[in-house]
Structures are given as structure tokens and as C-alpha cells.
């Protein structure tokens, strides 16, 4: 009788600690909204519902990238109005280190997540930074990039200078079958 009680209480302890860890883990990983960047940009929490604009691969650091756009950006692409992009358009880029696929060696697939970065078009608010608000969040913890407002913008702008003539955007939307209206 004593033995049965012992096992029952052991099970209760184990069971409740398991339930505790199961409900705690997703809370801290998924629900936490990253901090604003130093230039005052809030993380676009709904970005996972945006459409694909293109993909790319960087040979010098072996990274895969997905370039995505919010509904305003996708509409601008469909209407061919991307130089300049309309106010309200947001473009995003998600970057992963590439690795060989386990079952198909010729394929490169995403490995470690590097960063998420976004360009928010607003020609008035961002008149001093080429019409875009620039923001990056680093790693899975999504730590805001740039220690002050000036550096948060300037690193991005200097590297995007080769495409100043196409509204500071590198990506040419990838050709894909038209969507059914
Ligand atoms: C080392 C150069 C470099 C730096 C620094 C850089 N970018 Fe880019 N960025 C690129 C290139 C090249 C592309 C084209 C697509 C790619 O990388 O695969 C690009 C593409 C993008 C895109 C997709 C739209 C487009 O222009 O094609 C976004 C969004 C973006 N960058 C945001 C940023 C932000 C925000 C920063 C600063 C935090 C930044 N970038 C800093 C080189 C850079």
C-alpha cells in the first residue's frame, strides 16, 4: 500500500513538472515581441503571412535568402509600380546559413537562422534616409541591430548605394505564374 502511494506521488510530481515546462517554453519563445530598433522601428509581427518576392544565394558567405513583401509591396509589383515603391510598401529579407541536404547532397537547404531585415517605405517619415526606414533583428532572439539611430540606417544605405537608381532596392521580383484573381 505504501509502495503504491509512493509511485503515485512520484508520477504526480513528474507529470506536473512536465506540464509546467510544456506551457512555459512556447510562451517565452513565440509570444515575445522583439524590441524596437534604435531608429524607432517596431518589429512587423505579421511578416510570416507575407508573399515571396524572390530568393537568393550569396556565394561569399554561403547564405540563403528569402525576400518577401507585405500586401502593398505585392500590389506594387503586380502593377509594375516599383520605382519608386509606394508609401506603405515593406520588403523583408530572411537569411539562413546554407547546408547540404541530408538526403540529397546537391541541394542546399536552410540551416542556422542569421537575421531578419526590413525596409519600410515612407517618403515623408524617412525623407533623410532615402525614403526607407531600415531595420534588422539578429538571430532567433531577434536582437535589434545598430547601437544608435545613425548607425542603424547608415550601414544599410551604404551597401545599397549601387541600386540608388532603382529606389535603393536590389531585388527584381522573380518571375512566377500569375495568381488567380
Ligand atoms: C553587405 C552589403 C549589405 C548590407 C550591409 C545591407 N544590405 Fe540589404 N541587401 C544587400 C543585397 C546585395 C541585397 C540583394 C538580395 C540579397 O542579399 O540576396 C539586399 C537586399 C535587401 C532587402 C530586400 C530588398 C532589396 O533591396 O533587394 C532588404 C529588405 C534589405 N536588404 C534590408 C537591409 C537592411 C535593413 C540593412 C541594414 C540593417 C541592409 N539591408 C544592409 C546588401 C546589403
What confidence tens digit (pLDDT) does each residue in 16-70 have?
A: 444 444 444 444 455 589 999 999 999 999 999 999 999 999 999 999 999 999 9
Q: Please, are residues 68 and 92 in contact by the beta-carbon 8 Å criterion? A: yes
Binning pLDDT at 50, 70 and 90, where does residue 106 land? Answer: very high
Q: Tell whether the model's pLDDT for residue 13 goes beyond 90.
A: no
Q: Is 120 in the pocket of ligand 1 (CB under 6 A)?
A: no
Which CB contacts under 8 angstroms, 24+ apart, belong to 50-53? Answer: 50/74, 50/90, 50/92, 52/174, 53/77, 53/91, 53/171, 53/173, 53/174
What residue's CA is closest to ligand 1, atom 36? 156
Distance in Å, CA 157 to ligand 1 centroid: 9
**Cell numbers at 37, concatenated:** 530598433
What pLDDT, in 10s, does the model give residues 145-174?
999 999 889 999 999 999 999 999 999 999
From 134, 136, 161, 170, mutation site for ligand 1 pocket: most ligand atoms within 8 A of C-beta: 170
Percent of the chain with pLDDT over 70: 83
How many CA atoms, within 13 angstroms, populate the side-chain half-sphere of residue 177?
Answer: 2
Cβ count near 62 (within 10 Å): 13
Amino acid at each position: 500500500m505504501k509502495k503504491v502511494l509512493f509511485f503515485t506521488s512520484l508520477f504526480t510530481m513528474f507529470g506536473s513538472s512536465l506540464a509546467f515546462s510544456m506551457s512555459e517554453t512556447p510562451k517565452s519563445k513565440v509570444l515575445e515581441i522583439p524590441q524596437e530598433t534604435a531608429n524607432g522601428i517596431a518589429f512587423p509581427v505579421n511578416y510570416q503571412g507575407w508573399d515571396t518576392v524572390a530568393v537568393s544565394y550569396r556565394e561569399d558567405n554561403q547564405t540563403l535568402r528569402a525576400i518577401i513583401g507585405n500586401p502593398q509591396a505585392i500590389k506594387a509589383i503586380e502593377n509594375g509600380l516599383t520605382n519608386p515603391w509606394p508609401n506603405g510598401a515593406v520588403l523583408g529579407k530572411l537569411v539562413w546559413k546554407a547546408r547540404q541536404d541530408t538526403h540529397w547532397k546537391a541541394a542546399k537547404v536552410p540551416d542556422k537562422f542569421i537575421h531578419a531585415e526590413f525596409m519600410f517605405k515612407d517618403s515623408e517619415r524617412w525623407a533623410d534616409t532615402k525614403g526607407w526606414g531600415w531595420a534588422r533583428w539578429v538571430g532567433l532572439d531577434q536582437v535589434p541591430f545598430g547601437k544608435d539611430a545613425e548607425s542603424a540606417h547608415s550601414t544599410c544605405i551604404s551597401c545599397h548605394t549601387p541600386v540608388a537608381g532603382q529606389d535603393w532596392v536590389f531585388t527584381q521580383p522573380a518571375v512566377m505564374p500569375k495568381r488567380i484573381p
